[in-house]
Amino acid sequence: MRDASPQTIFLADYTPFGFQIEKVHLTFDLAPSATRVTSRIRFAPNPEASDKTFFLHGENLSLISAKIDGQAVTPTLTPEGLTCDVPSIPFTWEAEVQIDPAANTALEGLYLSNSMYCTQCEAEGFRKITYYPDRPDVMSVFTVRINGPHGTLLSNGNPVASGDCWAEWHDPWPKPAYLFALVAGELVAHRDAFTTNEGRSVDLALYVRPGDENKCSFGMQALKDSMKWDEDVYGRAYDLDVFNIVAVDDFNMGAMENKGLNIFNASAVLASPATSTDMNFERIEAIIAHEYFHNWTGNRITCRDWFQLCLKEGLTVFRDSQFTADMRSAPVKRISDVIDLRGRQFPEDQGPLAHPVRPESFQEINNFYTATVYEKGAEVIRMLHTLVGTKAYAAALDLYFERHDGQACTIEDWLTVFEDSTGRDLSQFKRWYSQAGTPRVAVTESFADGTYTLTFAQSLAPSATTPDPQPQVIPIAVGLLAPDGSEAMGTQVLELTQASQSFTFSGMAEKPVPSILRGFSAPVVLDHMADHAFLLAHDTDPFTRWEAGNNLARASLIATITRGTDPDPAWINGIAGILTDANLDPAYRSLMLDLPGQSELAAELHRAGHTPDPDAIWTAVHGLKYALSDAMADALPALYAAHQVSGPYAPNAEQSGKRALASAVLTLLTRQDGGDQAQVQYDTADNMTLQLGALANLIRAGRGDAALARFEAQWKEDRLVMDKWFGLQVGVAEPDDAADTAKALTQHAAFNWKNPNRFRATLGALAAHHAGFHAKDGSGYALLADWLIKLDPVNPQTTARMCSAFQTWRRYDTIRQSLIQKALERIASTPDLSRDTTEMITRIREA
């Protein structure tokens, strides 16, 4: 399909484009299979560039005509673009191309979703719309004319004029092509307004398909909250007259920050109490904030090249996490982020897909929108924030916006801002951007004559991209507790810069108990034989207290798996104490029940020299939960009852925390009552959080069939709710049934495999079901491989992303390894495999 031997692009090879663009005018004559795009682009030679080759990217375009300064020209065409002889003075390029949105199933460029036209251009989709230097360092002012069908016609910037079936838009802010957007279709608008702190009145609209109007108000409020927060916390105001969001059913990821016209996966914006869970609401709020915050960190200041992706993504994830922490509970957000990091990013760092936060080479950039670039990228900024402090961070950000507004920047620019504003030398810190892998920090302690000493030794395993790792700057937030549980020393941030380093604390009456890595101050793995039970009972830092419970659980599980021991009573008693402690936030208490992930346990076992057995891990995890349920049997009904919410549903932190705890307790209770309470909850639920939580437990109790059928009958017209129906059945299946359940669901009439949400709900749920995916007979591997092979020619981006399910293959026994290798081999040998999937499979197999 695409190039037989894909090309590798290197950061070190960057050169600026030979031309600048003063302005761009685009006209779209929309038709499903034959859209005409006419471009008029004013180029001028770039004095900064020595190479003046006039190369415009272009893929899957039919060139109708090309002109320079009004004269027809005949460019040289290749599958990747065109070259042409051009004048050495400013000139106007005009081209007309024809494209086929209806045939565009890859959902990149201009495509149709339920007969609505929409675009996705990041990273390199604009080249499927017209010939253009499709690189982020080429920025220009766009004017767009849309001649289209009836209905709403949208593009970036401000509306200029419109009439019957046409509209014109002008975006005054220079932008790279990846931020271009166009939407056209029968949409309804949910409108509101916001006045910025600079006095600009902004018309806000959330455009949805008819029928979805009642799912807009939460998203709109989240947008206004984000606009206000960015003004209050970062001093950043919005800069156009309108801000539009559109919900689209077919979308490869969560959402896209196109200037003034954010396009969202419907699942990331539409919400109502009856159809969305508390977790959906929180995710929607965070994604709306994230995309909005990109207006400054990504759009006004963009990336010089795609290697710098973390410049906008790491920073924007950090900003959205600060926002959620402010809107909801900061400790709960922090713990949730760490769970997510360990679940998604650590496996990347530990396996064949390991790459630095700023990669140095790629074949397909879409394969690098990873947890490493996003979430570890955000952790790196969090560390910078911790090291310099809140005030210096704010001053550095002010300087960043002042110095680089309107520019396409690099990580060097970003770090120089911090060096200039704080006077710090960040050359060692910069290794966080260039070294792949999760550092391990081993802790030893000693105590003599009132002096307590903590010694840290950091290590980083060599990997393909980081063969010779060097020590990094690791901020370690530490507190000391006295043996009676009181705090002997409040939190201090220690800066570890050497391979091994000691810190002393004098004047200690007794040997203290250290609380290390408070707030998860660095994305590292800590090796420390701590007194977890003591910390679980007494730590004043919410993260390390949670971590103590998590460590106890992990140790208990590993002991059960490797030595067959019973669940550790220290964990059971400690957690029972926490669960019933009414002084603690219910959301926090519910997180205490979140056991280490099964894949994470497999990694831990592998590292310790064991061959992880997914079934044994599954059994141990369930055994630990059952033991807690049995130990707390008498307390569970009252605990459940005490956390019922009265009054109208609100997706706020307080109510959702209560529901999260009640739901976790219901799972424990279901083991005791066989699902009776879950049935009552299902029958009386008036919101999706309760309904879905009850359904999960009914399935677990082996009595879910009737409820599943009722659920389907109730929600068959609601695609987002039906995604939950598909995903849940796979997610809670017994390991032996998971692949069969997924397979049966792929035969369901509502399994629309070309829709990324439905595909992910079903096959993604299988990949996430550790014991189910790794079923001994290889049925999980085979089913996923079958579907990835089928999806690849239709949607390479989503296919490639889901290949990462296989990244951990070397951890498992030889039988599983050979079954996975067979599945990978089958994918790799598929004729015309996309560049995206080829790169992923090659990396996974080779390392």
Q: List residues with catalytic annotation.
A: 291
What is the radius of gyration, based on Cα positions, of the chain?
27
**Selected range binding ligand B3K among 289-297, 582-590, 661-669, 815-823, rule: CB under 6 A:** 289-297
- In angstroms, what is the minimal distance from the CB of 820 to ligand B3K? 26
Q: CB within 8 A of 124, min separation 6: which ones? A: 57, 108, 134, 178, 365, 366
Residues 6 or more apart whose Cβ sits within 8 Å of residue 345: 370, 371, 372, 375, 376, 523
SS3 197: coil
Nearest residue to ligand B3K by CB is 122
- Give the residue with the Cβ less far from ligand B3K, 100 or 257: 257
- Closer residue to ligand B3K in complex, CB, 255/441: 255
Size of the site for Zn ion (CB under 5 A): 2
Taking CB under 6 A as the criterion, the residue among 366, 463, 560, 755 binding ligand B3K is 366
Q: Which does 366 bind (CB under 5 to 8 A by kind): ligand B3K, Zn ion, none?
A: ligand B3K
Position 376 contacts ligand B3K (CB under 6 A): no
Q: Which does 123 bind (CB under 5 to 8 A by kind): Zn ion, ligand B3K, none?
A: ligand B3K
123 near ligand B3K, judged by CB under 6 A? yes
Stretch that binds ligand B3K, among 287-295, 461-469, 718-726, 786-794 (CB under 6 A): 287-295
Minimum CB separation from ligand B3K for residue 124, in Å? 9
Which positions from 567 through 606 interact with Zn ion, judged by CB under 5 A?
Answer: none
Q: Which is nearer to ligand B3K, 256 or 284 (CB)?
A: 256
Burial pattern 390-412, b for ≥16 Cβ within 10 A else e, equals eebbbbbbebbbeebeeebbbbe
The residue length of the chain stands at 847
Residue 511: what are its φ and ψ, rounded to 5°?
-65, 120
Q: Which is nearer to ligand B3K, 218 or 369 (CB)?
A: 369
350 binds, options Zn ion, ligand B3K, none, Cβ within 5 to 8 A by partner type: none
Token pair of 737 as six digits:
């049934």
Least CB distance to ligand B3K at residue 272 (A): 24
Block residue for tokens 């391979």: 499
| Shortest distance (Å) from residue 410 CB to Zn ion | 18
DSSP 132: B
Query: Does residue 285 contact residue 325 with C-beta atoms inside 8 Å?
Result: no
Q: With residue 285 as reference, give the H or E element that holds it.
A: helix 278-293
The answer to whether residue 291 forms part of the interface with ligand B3K (CB under 6 A) is: yes
Per DSSP, 437 falls in state S
Site for Zn ion in 624-643 (CB under 5 A): none
DSSP states along 707-719: HHHHHHHHHTT-H
* Contact set for ligand B3K, span 296-325 (CB under 6 A): 313
- Where does 181-268 show beta strands of DSSP type E? 182-185, 188-195, 201-208, 242-248, 255-256, 261-265
Q: Identify whether the C-beta of residue 494 lies closer than 8 Å to the C-beta of residue 475.
A: yes
**Binding string, 260-299, against Zn ion, x = CB under 5 A?**
----------------------------------------
In 3-state terms, what secondary structure has residue 68? strand
Phi, psi of 342, deg, nearest 5: -65, -35
- What's the closest the beta carbon of residue 361 comes to ligand B3K, in angstroms? 18
Nearer to Zn ion, 143 or 797 (CB): 797
Binds 175: which of Zn ion, ligand B3K, none (CB < 5-8 Å by kind): none
Contact letters (x/-) for ligand B3K, 103-122, by CB under 6 A?
-------------------x
Q: Is the peptide bond between 742 and the residue preceding it cis, with omega within 30 degrees of 0?
A: no
Under the binding rule (CB under 6 A), the answer on residue 369 touching ligand B3K is yes
Binding flag, residue 285, ligand B3K (CB under 6 A): no
Least separation in angstroms between CB 801 and Zn ion: 15
Judged by beta carbon, residue 370 or residue 466, the one nearer ligand B3K is 370
Structure tokens at 384: 């910078």
**How big is the site for ligand B3K, counted in residues (CB under 6 A)?**
12
Is residue 823 at the binding interface for ligand B3K, with CB under 6 A as the rule? no
Q: Look at the block and give the residue holding tokens 């909250």.
A: 225
Task: Please list every residue from 502 through 541 that binds Zn ion, using CB under 5 A.
Answer: none
* Minimum CB distance to ligand B3K, residue 795 (Å): 12
Q: What is the DSSP letter of 370?
A: -
* Binding positions for Zn ion, 297-356, rule CB under 5 A: 313, 316
Quick count: other Cβ atoms within 10 Å of Cβ 815?
11
Longest pairwise C-alpha distance within the chain: 89
Q: Do 156 and 259 contact (CB within 8 A), yes or no?
A: yes
Token code pair at residue 2: 């695409």
Minimum gap (Å) between residue 801 Cβ and ligand B3K: 9
Tell me the C-alpha distance between 668 and 689, whole Å: 17
The residue (of 250 and 313) whose beta carbon lies closer to Zn ion is: 313
φ and ψ of 681, to 5 deg? -65, -40
What CA–CA distance (Å, rounded) separates 168 from 175? Answer: 18
Least gap, CB of 289 to Zn ion (angstroms) = 11
Question: What whole-number distance in Å separates Cα of residue 119 and Cα of residue 113?
Answer: 10
Judged by beta carbon distances under 5 to 8 A according to partner kind, the member of Zn ion, ligand B3K, none in contact with residue 358 is none
Residue 469 dihedral angles phi and psi, to the nearest 5°: -65, 145
For Zn ion, the closer of residues 324 and 458 by Cβ is 324
Q: Which of residues 239-278 bind ligand B3K (CB under 6 A)?
A: 253, 255-257
In the complex, least distance from residue 287 CB atom to ligand B3K, rounded to whole angstroms: 8
Q: Interface with ligand B3K by CB under 6 A: which residues?
A: 122-123, 253, 255-257, 290-291, 294, 313, 366, 369
Q: Interface with Zn ion by CB under 5 A: which residues?
A: 313, 316
